[in-house]
Amino acid sequence: MCRTIVVTSGKGGVGKTTICANLGIILASKNKNVLLVDFDFGLNNLDVVMGVENHITYDIFDVIDGNCTIKQALVQDIIYPKLFMLPSSHLIENNNIDVEILKNMINELKYMFDYILIDCPAGIDNNFKRAISCADEAIIVTTPHISAIRDADKVLSLLLKYKLNNVCLILNKVRGDLIVKEKMLSVKDVEDALKLKVVGVIPEEDFVNFSLLSGGGVDSKSDCYKSFSLISEYYLLGKRDIFDPTVKYKGVLGKLKINLRKFV
Ligand SMILES: Nc1ncnc2c1ncn2[C@@H]1O[C@H](COP(=O)(O)OP(=O)(O)OP(=O)(O)O)[C@@H](O)[C@H]1O
Ligand SMILES: [Mg+2]
């Protein structure tokens, strides 16, 4: 049965699109049929992040306007044949799309895929509500910063009205060295503040964006990859092993690494 998961946050720039793309890539690399849907109408960038912007013929609005069938609008990934995306359009400014039309569209696609990941826009306006309405599960993304956590809490309170099956938390842009030095909130601090199940902790790494743009997702030797891989195991097998970003900054060697980070 297809699982439809919306990736949302409230606050912008915390990593929703990055997480959608990388989780999609890893699930597809593990032989699952995956669809990424860009619900960030007007400010969409999932196509750019996935490197398929020049392969788009139709978008979600063409399907709504009857210019193409839903299958014609799907764009297959260049590297992973089991990964598809349904693009949005940059030309849209104000849209009044009926949520029922979007729900029907997603329902029509469910029989083709194991996972549908919906990339939600920042904010809590109508586009956010439409994205949530089309999903059965949610991932709330936050960084360990007070402003992002406050927005995540607001989103969580709104999500409760939608009776989703499973709402989980992913912490992104985490700095293990700062947690060890008690200059960043720990995973437990954030978990306690939001009272939500953490299913992933992703470290802040310089080349996340670059690795995606060069195709194929983050470098398979990176800590980000390990983290995304553990998150995929939660969605594939229900295992909840969470990446610990502090491990490499503990002990004598860890202290050296913290000092080295000051100079890079
Ligand atoms: N773990 C990470 N380490 C370093 N940079 C990251 C990480 N995750 C995301 N980024 C960077 O942060 C920026 C914002 O990420 P992204 O676009 O995924 O956020 P978003 O929540 O989708 O933003 P928006 O709300 O605007 O849609 C990008 O430049 C991305 O490369
Ligand atoms: Mg985004």
Per-residue pLDDT reduced to its tens digit, 155-180: 999 998 998 999 999 999 999 999 99
Average pLDDT, integer, range 114-141 = 95
Residue 232 pLDDT: 97
Model confidence at 131, pLDDT cuts 50, 70, 90, reads: very high
Ligand 1 nearest-atom number relative to CA 18: 18
Sign for the CA dihedral angle at 232, 235, 240, 244 comes to: positive
Residue 252 pLDDT: 65
CB of 122 shorter than 6 A to ligand 1? yes
Residue with token string 């947690």: 179
For the chain, the domain total comes to 1
Q: Using the mean position of ligand 2's atoms as its centre, give its distance from the Cα of residue 184 in Å.
A: 24
Residue 95 sits in a domain of what CATH number?
Answer: 3.40.50.300
Protein residue closest via CA to atom 16 of ligand 1: 15
From CA 5, how far away is CA 139, in angstroms rounded?
7
The most confident of 91-100, 161-170, 212-221, by mean pLDDT: 161-170
For the entire predicted model, the pTM comes to 0.94
Answer for the pair 72, 58: CB distance below 8 angstroms, yes or no. yes
Give the least confident one: 39-53, 174-188, 231-245: 39-53
Q: What is the domain range of residue 57?
A: 3-261
Answer for the pair 61, 92: CB distance below 8 angstroms, yes or no. yes
Average pLDDT, integer, range 5-11 = 96
The residue among 14, 6, 8, 13 whose CA lies nearest residue 142 is: 14
Q: Pick the more confident residue, 260 or 127.
A: 127
Q: Using the mean position of ligand 1's atoms as its centre, give its distance from the Cα of residue 209 in Å.
A: 8
pLDDT digits (tens, 9 = 90+) for 186-206: 999 999 999 999 999 999 998
Residue-averaged pLDDT of the chain: 91
Answer for the pair 16, 7: CB distance below 8 angstroms, yes or no. yes
Tokens standing for residue 234:
């939660």
Residue with token string 């849907």: 37
Rounded to a whole number of angstroms, the CA Rg of the chain reads 18
Model confidence at 133, pLDDT cuts 50, 70, 90, reads: very high
pLDDT at 104 over 90: yes
From CA 134, how far away is CA 109, in angstroms rounded?
12
Residue 90 pLDDT: 80
Q: Pick the more confident residue, 220 or 214.
A: 220
Residue 218 pLDDT: 79
Tokens standing for residue 242:
């969470």
Residue 217 pLDDT: 74
What is the full DSSP assignment across the chain?
Answer: --EEEEEE-SSTTSSHHHHHHHHHHHHHHTT--EEEEE--TTS--HHHHTT-GGG-S--HHHHHHTSS-HHHH-EE-SS-TTEEEE---TT-SS----HHHHHHHHHHHGGG-SEEEEEPPSSSSHHHHHHHHT-SEEEEEE-SSHHHHHHHHHHHHHHGGG--SEEEEEEEEE-HHHHHTT-S--HHHHHHHHT--EEEEEE--TTHHHHHHTSSSS-TTSHHHHHHHHHHHHHHH-------TTGGGSHHHHHHHHHHHTT-
- Ligand closest to 122 (CA) is 1
Q: Using the mean position of ligand 2's atoms as its centre, give its distance from the Cα of residue 254 in Å.
A: 33
Q: What is the share, in percent, of the chain residues with pLDDT greater than 70?
A: 93
CB of 142 shorter than 6 A to ligand 1? no
Residue 71 pLDDT: 96
The most confident of 184-193, 204-213, 255-264, by mean pLDDT: 184-193
- Residue 40 has phi, psi (to 5 degrees) of -90, 70
Residues near 131 by beta carbon (within 8 Å), at least 6 away in sequence:
6, 8, 39, 118, 120, 121
